[in-house]
Each structure stands twice: as structure tokens, then as C-alpha cells.
């Protein structure tokens, strides 16, 4: 790994680097090893940390979001919430109207089940093990959707090498938790990271619309390791760990969430009066003038038939 020195714009490699398995990897039952691995290396892979029933609910809700639009458009709905069925219904909506697909992705990121996953008891146990005091979320969880057939020209298709802290600028000991909703293999758009890169602090780079991208002269592709994860696993990494999305040589659908957690008691965070780079902006003007009518409000609030639940 080179020493960070200059500024520039990071680019994805033309070919994927030689695959190396990320380490350390520990079971969630050994919380002491989780914290020790994170402190020593700036990241740790935790096996079995997210309950599968929690993930199943998120996947079902995402499938339902796109099923609602499929129903409205008169195209086939998903049979279940498997990766194949979710990709298929996303593809049908995408092919019909890219902007409608993007709206579906944005809406899915706001699902209560996604927020609940970020605040599940399993996550709280992790934060307790790290000794966080009154932990906070600087922003809502992020839903990551990548597929080679769902690529929007000029839109998101993974991020180049970057660190998370510049997007938050809060606690120096913040922890990011990246968890897949389906298995992520080495060729399934996994996260790539540079072990021990957090030790260099803030790396130089260039600010883009999505992140402060690390100067590519500061690293080589062989510095990165790819993180293969199963459903229920998660990778925890520091806000200063350099990471990126693997793109070259990848295919299929990747669905994952990532959440940042901050320790309210981190000394510099307290001294700086808990700053946060995220801002919530509310559009006060009506997005759709003339909507809703009184009749539409009445219809929405009218009693509904009971839903059949399994």
C-alpha cells in the first residue's frame, strides 16, 4: 500500500484484482473477538449477526414494493422474495420506466423493516460490545442495489475508493455495518477494502457528488481484498477504512444495507458539539399541485377489508 499523498479521482480497475479473502472473520457469539479484530484491523467480518427472519422481512417488503408497481403496470408480479424473483420484477419495472424503478429503490430504502434491521437487538449488542454511549445514526440506513442489467446511465453503479467519515464528519470511532440481503460472492459486486488503511487517518482525494474519492495514486488494486458474505453475515469497518464496490467481472443482483453508528461520548465528537454533515431538506411547496382532493383523502381513510396474513 502506498502512502497517501496527492489528490485525484479514483477509478474502478479495468480488471478485477487477484482475489484475497478478507480477514479477520469471527462468529457473533465471540463479541470480544469482534471488537478486537475491528480495533486491530479497521474491519471485521461477523458471521451470523443478523437474524435471517429479519432479513426475510426486508426482502419480502422490497418484493412487495415492486409488486405494487408491477400490478399497476400490468406486468408479472414476483412469486416470492427470492433473489431471482426480485431481480425479475425489478427488471420489468426498469425496462418499462427507469425513473419509476429509481423511485421504487428510493422508497424501498425508507421501509420500516430496513430501519428495524438497523436497530435490531443484534445490532444493539454489537454497539454495547464496542462500549458506545448513547449511540446515534447520523442518517438512515442505505439500501445498495447493483445489477449488471439495472445500470442507469450516469447513475449509481457502485462507488470508487472512498472513506465514509468525510460524509459524516462526526465521531472518530464510528462503525459502519454492511450487511447483504442475499449471499454476495466474490463475483457478485462485493465490497473491496484495504486492510489497515484506517491507520493513515483521512486520505487525500477529490470530492464528487457521492463521496470524497481517494486519490488513486495512493493505492494499487492489489491492496484491496474482496469481502464474500452470506445472508446473516456483516462486515464492520471504520469510517476511515478505504473501500469500494467491486464492479469488473461481476454479475447478478446485489442487495445490501449499510448503517453508520456513532458514539456520543467520543471526546472530539463532544468537543465539537456533535456535528453531522448530513442535512435534511424539506420541500415545502406541493410536489403535485392540486393533490389530494377531499374525496381522495376520504377514500384513503375509509375502512379496508382485512388482509389475509400467513
Band of residue 280 on the pLDDT scale cut at 50, 70, 90: confident
CATH annotation of 1-51+133-278? 2.60.120.620
Q: Are 240 and 202 spatial neighbours (Cβ–Cβ below 8 Å)?
A: yes
- Residue 1 clears pLDDT 70, i.e. is over it: no
Residue 209 has what pLDDT? 76
Residue 309 has what pLDDT? 55
**113-118: average pLDDT:** 97
Residue 289 has what pLDDT? 94
Cα separation, 222 vs 281, whole angstroms? 40
Residue 23 has what pLDDT? 54
Q: Give the residue from 265, 260, 246, 131 showing the smallest Cα distance to 186.
A: 246
Residue 102 three-state SS: helix
Cα separation, 38 vs 196, whole angstroms? 10
**Domain range annotation of the chain:** 1-51+133-278, 52-119
Can you read off the three cell numbers belonging to residue 216? 488513486
- Residue 246 clears pLDDT 70, i.e. is over it: yes
Task: Dump pLDDT digits (tens) for 157-180.
Answer: 778 899 999 999 999 999 999 999
Instruction: Tell me how crowded residue 47 is: count the other CB atoms within 10 A of its CB.
Output: 15
Cell 472473520, residue? 25
Please confirm whether the linkage preceding 289 is cis (ω < 30° from 0): no
The strand pairing partners of 256, in sequence order, are 144, 180
Q: What is the pTM of this model?
A: 0.88
Alpha carbon of 231 to those of 15, 28, 47, 256, 259: distances in Å? 27, 14, 9, 10, 16
Q: Give the residue from 14, 3, 21, 303 showing the smallest Cα distance to 186.
A: 21
257 φ/ψ angles, rounded to the nearest 5 degrees: -120, 155
Amino acid at each position: 500500500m502506498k502512502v497517501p499523498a496527492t489528490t485525484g479521482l479514483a477509478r474502478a480497475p479495468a480488471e478485477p484484482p487477484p482475489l484475497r479473502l478478507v480477514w479477520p472473520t469471527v462468529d457473533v457469539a465471540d463479541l470480544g473477538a469482534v471488537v478486537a479484530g475491528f480495533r486491530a484491523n479497521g474491519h471485521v467480518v461477523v458471521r451470523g449477526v443478523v437474524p435471517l427472519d429479519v432479513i426475510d422481512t426486508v426482502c419480502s417488503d422490497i418484493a412487495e414494493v415492486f409488486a405494487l408497481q408491477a400490478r399497476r403496470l400490468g406486468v408479472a408480479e414476483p412469486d416470492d422474495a427470492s433473489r431471482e424473483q426480485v431481480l425479475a420484477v425489478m427488471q420489468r419495472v426498469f425496462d418499462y420506466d427507469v425513473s419509476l424503478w429509481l423511485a421504487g429503490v428510493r422508497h424501498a430504502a425508507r421501509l420500516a423493516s430496513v430501519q428495524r434491521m438497523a436497530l435490531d437487538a443484534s445490532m444493539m449488542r454489537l454497539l454495547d460490545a464496542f462500549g458506545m454511549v448513547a449511540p446515534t445514526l447520523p442518517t438512515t440506513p442505505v439500501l445498495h442495489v447493483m445489477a449488471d442489467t439495472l445500470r442507469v446511465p450516469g447513475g449509481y453503479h457502485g462507488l470508487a475508493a472512498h472513506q465514509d467519515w468525510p460524509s459524516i464528519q462526526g465521531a472518530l470511532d464510528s462503525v459502519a455495518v454492511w450487511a447483504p440481503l442475499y449471499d454476495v460472492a466474490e463475483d457478485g459486486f462485493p465490497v473491496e477494502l484495504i486492510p489497515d488503511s484506517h491507520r493513515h487517518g483521512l486520505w487525500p482525494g477529490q470530492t464528487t457528488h457521492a463521496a470524497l474519492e481517494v486519490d488513486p495514486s495512493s493505492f494499487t488494486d492489489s491492496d484491496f481484498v474482496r469481502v464474500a458474505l452470506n445472508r446473516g453475515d456483516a462486515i464492520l469497518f471504520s469510517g476511515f477504512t478505504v473501500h469500494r464496490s467491486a464492479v469488473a467481472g461481476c454479475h447478478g443482483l446485489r442487495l445490501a444495507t449499510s448503517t453508520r453508528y456513532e458514539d456520543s461520548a467520543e471526546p472530539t465528537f463532544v468537543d465539537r458539539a456533535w456535528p453531522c454533515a448530513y442535512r435534511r431538506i424539506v420541500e415545502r411547496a406541493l410536489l403535485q399541485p392540486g393533490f389530494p382532493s377531499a374525496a381522495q383523502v376520504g377514500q384513503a381513510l375509509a375502512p379496508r377489508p382485512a388482509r389475509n396474513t400467513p
